[in-house]
Structure 1
Amino acid sequence: MKILIISDSHGLTDELQMIAKRHAAEVDMMIHCGDSELETNHPALEGYKVVKGNCDFMGDFEEELLLPLDGGGKLFLTHGHLHGIKQSLLQVYYRAEELGADIICFGHSHIPGSELLRGKLLINPGSVHLPRVRKERSYAILTLDGSEANVQFFTDEGQAIQDLENTVTLEGIS
C-alpha cells in the first residue's frame, strides 16, 4: 500500500493538483494533514482525505481521521496543533495509542521527518508552501509492504530528498 502525505499547503491549489497527478498511478490513498486553507469541496482537494488545521477557517473538515490500512493496522491523521506537536510528540502518540493506531501523520510544524516511537511510526511531510528548518518544500510517500514501512520525502517538484528517507518495521501491521 502506498500513501501520499501532504500538509500545510496554505492556499496553494496548482501544486496540490500537480502532486496528486504526478503520483496518481502509484498511490492507493492521498492524505492532507491540514492547513489547506481551502473550502471542503475545492477541486484541488479532490481525492485527498483532509483534516482541519489551525488555519482552516473555511472548510468543514474533521479534526481527526482514523483510517484503516491494507493488511491491518490503522493510520491516525491530525494536524497536530491540538496535540502540542511543536513541544513534544508524546501527546499525539498517546492519542494514537487511545485510538489503536500504528501510524501517525501530522503537520503544523512545517518540518519534515519520520521516526519510530515505541512501535508507532510518526510522519510529518513538512510543507509544500512554507518550509521550516530545511529549504525544500516537501511532501512524503509512505510505502507499506507487510510489516515494513518506508517513508520517502520529495520536493514539490518531485525530486527525492535522500537524507530524510526512513525504513522501519511495524509490529501491528502484517
Structure 2
Amino acid sequence: MKILVASDTHGDDLILQELLTEYPHMDGYFYCGDSELRASNPLFQQWQAVQGNMDYDPDFPLTLTAHVAGHTIFMAHGHKYAVGWRRDELVAAGQAVGADVILYGHTHVALAEVHQGILVVNPGSISQPRGELASLGGMYAVVTVDDDGRRVEYGTRTQGIIPKLTRTFAV
C-alpha cells in the first residue's frame, strides 16, 4: 500500500492539485482537514477528507475509516482528540476500528511513530508548517506499508521528498 497524505492547506487548493499531478499512481489520497474549502470541491473526489477545526462545511465527516490494499486506515483532524498533548485518545479511536495506520493533522507538526503496533502519521501542514522542520516549508507525507516494513517519507512543496526525513518501522 502506498498513500499520499496532506493536511492543513488553509485555503490553498492549488497545492492539492499539484500533489495529484506529482503523485498520480497512489493507492489512496488522504487529507487530514483544515482545507477551508467546501466538501463539494472537485478535489475531494480524489482526496478522502475529514473536517478540521477551521472547516465549516458539515458535509465533511469528523473521522474516516478506509480500507486500502488490505490495510485499515483511521483518519481524523485531531482537534477532538487532544493531539497537541497526547495521542492516546486518537490511538484508542483507531484501535476501535481495527486500524493499522492512523492519520491526523491539526498541530502542523510532521510526526511519524508507532503506538501499540499502529503506525501514527501527521504529515505536517502543507501551507503553515510549525515545529523544528518549519523552515523547510510546507510538508506532506508518502506512507508505504509492505512486506519490508512501514515507511514514511516527508516532502516539501518546493523540494519534493527529503530522504533524510524518511522514517522506517518494522512490521
TM over 0.5: yes
Alignment of 1:16-95 (within 5 A): 16-24=16-24, 26-58=25-57, 60-70=59-69, 72-95=70-93
C-alpha distance in 2, partners of 1:19/1:44?
11
C-alpha distance in 1, partners of 2:20/2:92?
31
Which residue matches 2:114? 116
Pick which of 154-163 and 75-84 moved more: 154-163
Q: Secondary structure at the match of 2:90?
A: helix
> Is the CA contact 1:113–1:164 (under 8 Å) kept in the aligned structure 2?
no
The verdict on how the C-alpha distance between 1:96 and 1:59 changes in structure 2, with shifts beyond 3 A counting, is same
Q: Secondary structure at the match of 1:104?
A: strand
State the one-letter code of the partner of 2:96: E
- Residue 59 of structure 1 and its aligned partner are, at CA, apart by 5.3
Identity of aligned residues (%): 33
User: How many pairs were matched up?
Assistant: 168
CA displacement 1:13-55 (0-9 Å, x = unmatched): 111101111101x311101000011001213334100000000
How high is the TM-score relative to the length of structure 1?
0.91
- Residue 164 of structure 1 and its aligned partner are, at CA, apart by 2.4
> Is the CA contact 2:27–2:68 (under 8 Å) kept in the aligned structure 1?
no
Q: Which aligned runs of 4 or more in structure 1 are off by greater than 4 angstroms? A: none
> Is the CA contact 1:36–1:56 (under 8 Å) kept in the aligned structure 2?
yes
The verdict on how the C-alpha distance between 1:113 and 1:52 changes in structure 2, with shifts beyond 3 A counting, is same
- Residue 152 of structure 1 and its aligned partner are, at CA, apart by 0.3
The verdict on how the C-alpha distance between 1:30 and 1:20 changes in structure 2, with shifts beyond 3 A counting, is same
Q: Secondary structure at the match of 1:34?
A: coil
> Is the CA contact 1:10–1:36 (under 8 Å) kept in the aligned structure 2?
yes
Q: Secondary structure at the match of 1:17?
A: helix
C-alpha distance in 1, partners of 2:44/2:17?
8
> What is the RMSD of the two structures over their aligned residues, measured on CA atoms?
1.4
Q: Secondary structure at the match of 2:129?
A: coil
Q: Secondary structure at the match of 1:163?
A: helix
How high is the TM-score relative to the length of structure 2?
0.92
State the one-letter code of the partner of 1:56: D
C-alpha distance in 2, partners of 1:158/1:21?
15
CA displacement 1:98-157 (0-9 Å, x = unmatched): 111111000000001201112110000000110001222100001121362111000013
C-alpha distance in 1, partners of 2:26/2:170?
20
